[in-house]
Structures are given as structure tokens and as C-alpha cells.
Amino acid sequence: MSNVFENLITKIKANPSSLFQKDFLLTWEKTYGELETILAVAEALKYLRDNNISAKVFDSGLAISQFRDNSTRTRFSFASAANLLGLAVQDLDEGKSQIAHGETVRETSAMISFLSDIIGIRDDMFLGAGNAYMREVGAALDEAYADGVLPQRPGIVNLQCDIDHPTQSMADLLHLKTVFGSLDNLKGKKIAMTWAYSPSYGKPLSVPQGIIGLMTRLGMQVDLAFPEGYGLIPEVVQLAGKQASDSGGSFRVTNSMDDAFKDADIVYPKSWAPFQVMERRTTLLRANDHDGLKSLEKECLANNARFMDWECTEDKMKLTKGGKALYMHCLPADISTVSCKQGEVEASVFERYRVPLYKQAGFKPYIIASMMLTNRFADPAETLKSLYESKTSRVR
């Protein structure tokens, strides 16, 4: 066994976890050791793929994807992860299902799950509803399994909700671990999670919340920056402060992008809608109030335009540590003069970091596959070791 792979197996064995048959909904519901296991399993799966060793642990079975919002990276990452492990993917298109005719969550959950192993759900449109919906699905699966309707209880992976985007933030963390060499090397590093101008409105809060909800557990200096009125869900902000204190790091909220960028090792400029706006938007969406939504959009775009200087420019990057901070984004970014007239990031900054950004995105399939594998297999270390020792070629 190679030293690299053996070290990963050792790390996984060193962190006994309770990930088996447990849904992955919020990073802060998992122990630090469990998060380390997810990272190590993802790295092991990547090692197998890079070395042409099959990672198929399923002979058959379904991974159900339910996207209630548009997606490119996460949708394809979920499909890639399922395929890597040997699962077939089936999309649950609500418009083509009986959900459109009033079928209940309780019934749908049971009907799609007879031969399913994993259900991935993206539900980030309605504040206060997305994560709750995932838990409702989970409760329905528990009931169907207990009643003997289902032969097994499929696991749920949160592919983005109104509160957190765990597959994104964990992929981001694996990117940081790779760039800086280890999780320990992230201690004391400063990351600036900042709002940035966008010529659109209604972008979810889950990415910035996912970042502050995860990075504050690593002993990092986490700065959250946004213009007055663009705050996040208060409970998540409070949680970030507590976690920073517990980990020996720091958490600070500022209304200055320059202040957050100063001496930062990592910057993550990303637009989002204010918490209060998302609350109003949810009410209007539920009421199918199209006129109200148009009025809210007009109001929000006008308010966004007051902060067009919240852009990741070359000058702002010079404020960072040595002028060489790592630029991160969940993609797609609003690139000034490229995808829009003016947006989140200057074109020259984006282009300089384009390859690292694509590598950042490339960790997501392995993170999702890791969440799937640890949910279905009680001993992921032995499972991965068996795959390595079998030396079954992926490409023959």
C-alpha cells in the first residue's frame, strides 16, 4: 500500500464516527472528528480515481437527486459521485411527478426509496423551509422503514438549503487543506467572507453561512463583511462566534470590505440577499405574488447599486497579506466586463485565480461521494482498503 493511501486509512481509523446511517444536513451538527473523516475519505476516493482503481462499492442501487433550484456544479458533482461509487442517478422532477398533483412528502419519500441508497436534496429558495423540508423527508423515511415498507432507510445529503451548503463548504475546506498543507496550518489564518456587488438579487445566504459555520471551527481568524442591512441569519452568526471562541480562533463582523481584506490570507467575496429581504421574498413566493416579487426585485437592485464599490479588485487584493491572498468563490462568479457590466470580481483577478477556482470546484464530487460512502458503510477504512487491495482497474 502506498504511504499516501496508508496515511489516509490511518486517519480514518483514528476518528471513530457515527456517520453511518446518519444524514448530512449541517456541518455544525457533526463532530470535528467526523468532518476530518469526510475529508480523508474524499482524499482516499480521489487517490483511487487518480490511480485508475475502481471505487465501485455498489453493484446496483439508486441515488435520487431532487433539485428545487437551478444548479450546474452541484448537480453534476452529485451525479459524478454516485457514478464513482456504482450508483445510478435518477432525478426527481417535481413537475413530472405526482407531487404536482398534491402527493404528500410522506408518500413521495417512500415511493422513491424502495431500491435507493441516497437522496440528495437542494432546496434553498424559501427561507425557513429548505432545511425543514429535508428533515420532513427524513422523518417520512424513518417511518416507512420502521413500518417495514422500505428494506433500508436511504441517507440524505444536503446539496444546499436555506441555512447551509455543506458540500460546498467542505469542498472549500479540502481545497484550503490542499493549498496550505494541512488543517493545522489553517490555524491563525485569516479568511475574509465578504459580500460583493451583483447586478442580481435573491442569492441564497447558505454559502456565507456555510463558510462562517465551518471555518470558525478551525482556529482561523474569520471576518464577515457586508454593507449595513445585508446581515445573515442571526442564529448562525451567533453560532460562528461561539465556535471561534471554542476553537481558539476569532470571529468579527465589519461593514468594510477593505477592513476585512486587510492582511487576509484568503478572500471569499460573494453576493447574497439580506436576511430580511429573503424573509419577504419567501412570503411573496409562497403567495405567488408576482407583482410583489417584481417590486421587491426593483427595490433590491436599487439598494445593491449603492454598494457597487464592493468589488474584488486588484487594488483590494493588494490589501491582503503580501498582496497574494487566495481568492475563492463557489462559482459562477459575476465577473465585471465578462459576465456582466460590473459585478463581484474584476476580470483580471478572476483570470489569475481561474485554475485554482476550478480545482476548488473539483473537490465537490469527492466530498459528496465521501458523504454517501460514510452513510452506507459502517467501516469506511476497511471498505477503502479493500478497494485498494483489489486493484480493479476503472479503465481496462
Enter the DSSP assignment of 185: G
Residues spanned by the domain of 122: 3-164+364-390
One domain, residues 150 and 236: no
Q: Could you tell me the CATH number of the domain that includes residue 21?
A: 3.40.50.1370
Half-sphere exposure of 141 (CA within 13 A, CB side): 24
How confident is the model at residue 201, as a pLDDT?
Answer: 84
Pairwise CA distance, residues 308 & 86, whole Å: 46
**276 lies in a domain?**
yes
How confident is the model at residue 277, as a pLDDT?
Answer: 87
Query: What is the total count of domains within the chain?
Result: 2
One domain, residues 158 and 227: no
One domain, residues 329 and 287: yes
**322 lies in a domain?**
yes
Cα-Cα-Cα-Cα torsion 72, 77, 78, 81, nearest 10 degrees, comes to: 160
One domain, residues 241 and 375: no
> By the 8 A CB rule, do 156 and 138 touch?
yes
**109 lies in a domain?**
yes
One domain, residues 114 and 225: no
Q: What is the pLDDT along the chain (396 residues), one digit of tens a residue?
A: 899 999 999 999 998 778 999 999 999 999 999 999 999 999 999 999 999 999 999 999 999 999 988 889 999 999 999 999 999 999 998 877 777 668 899 999 999 999 999 999 999 988 899 999 999 999 999 999 999 999 999 999 999 999 999 999 999 999 999 999 999 999 999 999 999 999 998 799 999 999 999 999 999 999 999 999 999 999 999 999 999 999 999 999 999 999 999 999 999 999 999 988 888 988 998 899 999 999 999 999 999 999 999 999 999 999 999 999 999 999 999 999 999 999 999 999 999 999 999 999 999 999 999 999 999 999 999 999 999 999 999 998
**282 lies in a domain?**
yes
Residue with cell 478572500: 267
**396 lies in a domain?**
no
One domain, residues 102 and 140: yes
How confident is the model at residue 286, as a pLDDT?
Answer: 85
One domain, residues 261 and 386: no
Cell reading at 198: 451583483
**395 lies in a domain?**
no
**177 lies in a domain?**
yes
Does the pTM of the predicted model rise above 0.85?
yes
